[in-house]
Amino acid sequence: MIERTVSINGNPLAAPAETEVALVDFKPEHFINRELSWLEFNARVLEEAEDPTTPLLERVKFLSIFSSNLDEFFMVRVAGLREQAFGDGAPEDFAPDGLTPIAQLERIAARTQELVARQYRCWNQSIAPALAEQGIQIVKHHELTAEQQAELDDFFRQRAFRILTPMAIDPSHPSPRFQNRGLYVAAMLELDRQHGLGPKRMFAVVQVPQVLPRLVQLSSPQGYRFITLADAVQARLPELFGGFSVLCSTTFRITRDCDFDLLEQESDDMLRLIEERLRARARGDAVRIEVSADADEELLQTVVDSEDLRLPTRPSSYNEIYRIDGPLDLTGLMVLYKLPGLAHLRDAPFTPRMHVGGGQRFDMFAAIRQRDILLHHPFDSFAPVVDFVSRAATDPQVLAIKQTLYRTGPDSPITKSLIQAAENGKHVTALVELQARFDEEFNVTWARQMERAGVHVVFGFMNMKTHCKASLAVRQEGDILRRYVHLSTGNYNPTTATVYTDLGLFTVNEDFAEDVSALFNLLTGYSQGHKWRKLIVAPQDLQRRTIELIEEQAQRAREGKPSRIFGKFNALVDHRVIQALYKASQAGVPIDLVVRGICCLRPGLPGISETVRVRSVVDRFLEHSRIFVFGPADEAKVFLASADWMPRNFYRRMELMFPVETPELREYLLGDVAPCYLRDNVKARVLASDGGYSRLSPAAGESAHRCQVEMMQFFPRRQKPLEPARSTAPGDGDPGDGDSSGGRPKRKRRVSRA
């Protein structure tokens, strides 16, 4: 393979070449377009909103998620394609499907228009009427009772009018820069009096304030009644623009390009650079306008012209204007999802298992010394992970903590523990990824707080994100320093850990500890040359090793030996990996892939991918874990990873793939988790070779299997109960080197009596 040098602030790292390599034995039609595949994932999210068997408020949640997903897609992916099609932007990745940027934009627009129309049919014809039957209504202004109208008048006098700013647009009042995803009311006005202040006819806008509730709740004798703030503002335009008549009005919303590349910028302060980028987001080019379906054409054209949105000069189906038959921005519906007292309209409450830990006297370090521990979130509580860091912060035997942080969130107990550890005099290092898209503000805030507390904060690399998830605690135990390691497929974020499926491994295995120490040295000091014992690291080696593992199975199949590939992950885009999978299929390897989102591989192609089966599970929890199995049964090599099979993960991110070698943990993944996903016939969709997905349902006489429900219900057989772990007094640690299986000393265990 051709090698290249990736420069990280002038320090080279070897990584595979990222060049446009000719497709070998395969044609563009053998690949599905990345962006169109993503749209089909969002269509599966929409299906959950459309499904009448889904609890009603869960349907509302999925409708909101669909809108939020689409916002990010336009801000990042569509924005990048527009730059390539109409500007001078270069493609980020080689597109093996062969579609040009403008062809992709045309197909994206056509499919998105279809999906948005479906979304609002679902809202108008199904969900909104069903909510009304349950006493939850969003009403129009003219439907308010006299009492509710008086209540709304009071809301405007006391709150809204003090915040709202009517803005006339003329040569002396230039058009404002409409905020990204901001909601506005636009109007065409006419002066009532012949000798009044202002032009006889003018265009005006009012921003719907983000600091006020998007849905205004009004009193109702039964249930809940709301009016959208935009509708209420629109009804009060004559009061806001006194002396003018409202000829026509509409609501609109603009989505902007929010994908700014730091590689082209120079700065000696990355933190300040990120803060500047956050401010720049409000000024990015417009990439989409959502507007009420009944908007006046002249009014709409005025908004379009102010944003310099232009369609291609040649005839094209590409359309950046989305006419909406209902309330704009359905992300605001999450207010309804959180209403109190409606448990019967949501999924049944679920309490994660406390598989390990619990109580002030429980010693996480003693538990990890007993054996490797695998936690499967959200089915297993995330509390032991938080406890691991918090105990390390206060344990006098812990000398150092090293931690990666990708998405911290607004209230991060792990970050607070790192601050506490530094204040307690421990050596604390935090790798904070400032380029975690749309979480930059939280990360910047926490980074500054940690710096003030004495944490050694590192911000990753300018030209690649640090996406690996690792935590390391160094503890003095007798005459040795023992290293405790946690590796994960997901973020150190207790909030997302309740709604994302992820896996995390605790170990004191010395090989893992050496590798994780070397990883932090690489992240903080560019230290290179370490020979990795267990970890497979991107950008240096992850793609090459992944292809090697696939090719090993292909060779086994050619030799007539049993072979197998199983992968569960979020996206399959990298064309080299896809080609390796195609060749493995041609050799006869059975390949089962559970791919939540984008999949550019076409399964079931005669002579190409006949042994490949691809499914996607969209359910209550967001499927986020990455599990890879190469080989059959006892011979299988089992890995967990922070990375998907995408060019960005292989080339432009620091990523980890790590093996699971403890027998009972392997058995859990091989015997419980993988089969559970493959037998789901309730929430699974199967990918066809044409790129379409079909939802599975139990056949006649077949039992229903819903993998997430089953994993909530069964107690995993992955490991026997831990011995009671008591607090370890200084000097209790055994100085032995540990055995090869787990890095723990061989010793007789003391059996406690109940």
Positions marked catalytic? 467
Helices 440-453 and 270-280 sit at what angle, rounded to 10 degrees? 150
DSSP letter for each residue of 407-472: ---SS-HHHHHHHHHHHTT-EEEEEE-TTSTT-HHHHHHHHHHHHHHT-EEE--BTTBEE--EEEE
What CA–CA distance (Å, rounded) separates 609 from 602?
Answer: 7
What CA–CA distance (Å, rounded) separates 455 from 449?
Answer: 9
Q: What is the Cα Rg of the chain in Å? A: 28
Dihedral of CA atoms 157, 158, 160, 161 in degrees, nearest 10, equals 50
What CA–CA distance (Å, rounded) separates 575 from 436?
Answer: 25
What CA–CA distance (Å, rounded) separates 14 from 552?
Answer: 24
β-bridge mates for residue 486, sequence order: 471, 506
| Residue linked to tokens 């996480």 | 364
Contact criterion met (CB below 8 Å) for 367 and 375: no
In 3D space, the residue among 608, 709, 558 whose CA is nearest the CA of residue 23 turns out to be: 608
Q: For residue 172, give the amino acid letter.
A: S
Question: What is the three-class DSSP state of 408?
Answer: coil
Contact criterion met (CB below 8 Å) for 641 and 70: no
- If 0-12 CB within 10 Å is exposed, 13-18 middle and 19+ buried, where does residue 275 land? middle
Residue 558's contacts (CB-CB under 8 Å, 6 or more residues apart) are 587, 588
SS3 string, 347-386, reads CCCCCCECCCCCCCCCCHHHHHHHCCEEEEECCECCHHHH
Contact criterion met (CB below 8 Å) for 317 and 112: no
Q: For 692, what's the count of Cα atoms within 13 Å in the CB-facing half-sphere?
A: 4
Q: Residue 453 CA to chain centroid, in angstroms?
A: 30
Tokens of 719: 């490991």
Dihedral of CA atoms 534, 535, 539, 541 in degrees, nearest 10, equals 20
What CA–CA distance (Å, rounded) separates 279 from 104?
Answer: 29
β-bridge mates for residue 285, sequence order: none
Q: How far is CA 480 from CA 247, 474, 511, in A?
A: 80, 10, 16
First CA to last CA across the chain, in angstroms?
60
Please tell me the total number of residues recorded for the chain in this structure: 754
Question: What is the three-class DSSP state of 606?
Answer: coil
